[in-house]
Amino acid sequence: MTVSIVIPLYNEEDNVDILHQRLRETLDRLGLEYEILYVDDGSSDRTLAILEEIQAKDKRIVVLSLRRNFGQTAAFAAGFDFARGDVVVTMDGDLQNDPKDIPKLLELIKDNDLVSGWRRKRKDAFFTRRLPSILANWMISRVTGVKLHDYGCSLKAYRRDVIKNLKLYGEMHRFIPAVASWYGVRMAEVETTHYPRVRGKSKYGLSRTIKVLLDLITVKFLQSFSTKPLQFFGPIGLLSGALGFLVSLYLSIEKIFFGKPIGGRPLLLLGALLIIVGIQLIGMGLLGEMLVRVYHESQRKPIYVIKKVIGP
């Protein structure tokens, strides 16, 4: 088994050296082949310079320097693209995760495709970080049907093929387990140690909760309806159209058979609105269907994933 460690770093000049030291201690003791990919996410401090110094002394280190600050998800994605190991381990570069937990993850990855850390005793502020995270985890579990306690924990291990199949967008890295579950992966969870941030500043606050929420909607939609958008928009469109039709029919009967004026009735507006919304939604579903075909066929992307083929 060869292992790639991927670590995104954004202005972590005070953490890099200690991080590298601790990582080396753990990894060297494991006695397996490894590489460490440090992704400098456009830091404006000395992070990159320190990384270059470290790299010069050790050929097992790869430093990827992004042109500007693209965000943690993009930094992970860059690391994944360059990783060569059979197993890829991700973690934060601010010493909040403990490299000593890596062996636990590697042990479990032998029988799984994805192992997620669980910061059971998380050392972050309660109201701005832990509480939103508890709610988010509960919601992500409910919506995606993937049961994990801690999606946001960066310390995770993946088998190579899990991440090589993946395209990451937005703040999507926490949804890798949910997206990967579509491929049919075996997942495990393990409790990991968590430390408060001692040096440097956290890059996130409460505003991230909203981004996570919006990403969740995207993930859910892609997970359930990405190959059949009309199935999603269609029923709502049909319902709206049918209601609109009934309302209009009722009004027409009133007008034609009973000669009542209907021009000023609010119901007329509602009926027309429901019909238009219905047509729009079905149109949107059909457009979606076309997009799905363009998407899959232009990329020659099949709508299934094969684990292996047995036979000649």
Q: Minimum distance between the CB of residue 188 and ligand UDP, rounded to whole angstroms?
A: 23
Find which of ligand UDP, Mg ion, none residue 10 binds, CB within 5 to 8 Å per kind.
Answer: ligand UDP
Q: Minimum distance between the CB of residue 295 and ligand UDP, rounded to whole angstroms?
A: 28
Kindly tell me the burial class for residue 31, based on how many C-beta atoms sit within 10 Å of its own C-beta (0-12, 13-18, 19 or more): exposed
Q: Minimum distance between the CB of residue 124 and Mg ion, rounded to whole angstroms?
A: 8
- SS3 of 256-274: the string is HHHCCCCCCCHHHHHHHHH
The rounded distance, in Å, linking the Cα atoms of 22 and 14 is 14
The rounded distance, in Å, linking the Cα atoms of 187 and 193 is 19
DSSP class per residue in 69-102: ---HHHHHHHHHHH--SSEEEE--SSSSB-GGGH
Find which of ligand UDP, Mg ion, none residue 8 binds, CB within 5 to 8 Å per kind.
Answer: ligand UDP
- For residues 203 and 211, which CB has a smaller minimum distance to ligand UDP in the complex? 203
- For residues 8 and 117, which CB has a smaller minimum distance to ligand UDP in the complex? 8
- For residues 116 and 240, which CB has a smaller minimum distance to ligand UDP in the complex? 116
Q: Minimum distance between the CB of residue 1 and ligand UDP, rounded to whole angstroms?
A: 25
Q: Minimum distance between the CB of residue 134 and ligand UDP, rounded to whole angstroms?
A: 14
- For residues 23 and 185, which CB has a smaller minimum distance to ligand UDP in the complex? 23
Q: What are phi and psi of 117, to 5 degrees?
A: -75, 155
Instruction: Point out which residues bind ligand UDP (CB under 6 A).
Output: 8-10, 12, 41, 69, 71-72, 75, 92-94, 96, 202-204
Q: Minimum distance between the CB of residue 154 and ligand UDP, rounded to whole angstroms?
A: 6
Find which of Mg ion, ligand UDP, none residue 234 binds, CB within 5 to 8 Å per kind.
Answer: none
Find which of ligand UDP, Mg ion, none residue 93 binds, CB within 5 to 8 Å per kind.
Answer: ligand UDP
> Helices then strands (H, E): number in the chain?
10, 7
Instruction: Point out which residues bind Mg ion (CB under 5 A).
Output: 92, 94, 96
| Amino acid occupying residue 143 | V
Q: Minimum distance between the CB of residue 282 and ligand UDP, rounded to whole angstroms?
A: 40
The rounded distance, in Å, linking the Cα atoms of 89 and 83 is 10
- For residues 96 and 133, which CB has a smaller minimum distance to Mg ion in the complex? 96
- For residues 79 and 244, which CB has a smaller minimum distance to ligand UDP in the complex? 79
- For residues 18 and 276, which CB has a smaller minimum distance to Mg ion in the complex? 18
The rounded distance, in Å, linking the Cα atoms of 61 and 81 is 15
Q: Three-class SS of residue 31?
A: coil
The rounded distance, in Å, linking the Cα atoms of 37 and 45 is 19
The rounded distance, in Å, linking the Cα atoms of 67 and 21 is 26
Strands 87-90 and 187-191, by their bridges, are unpaired
Count the alpha carbons within 13 Å of 26 in the hemisphere toward its beta carbon: 18
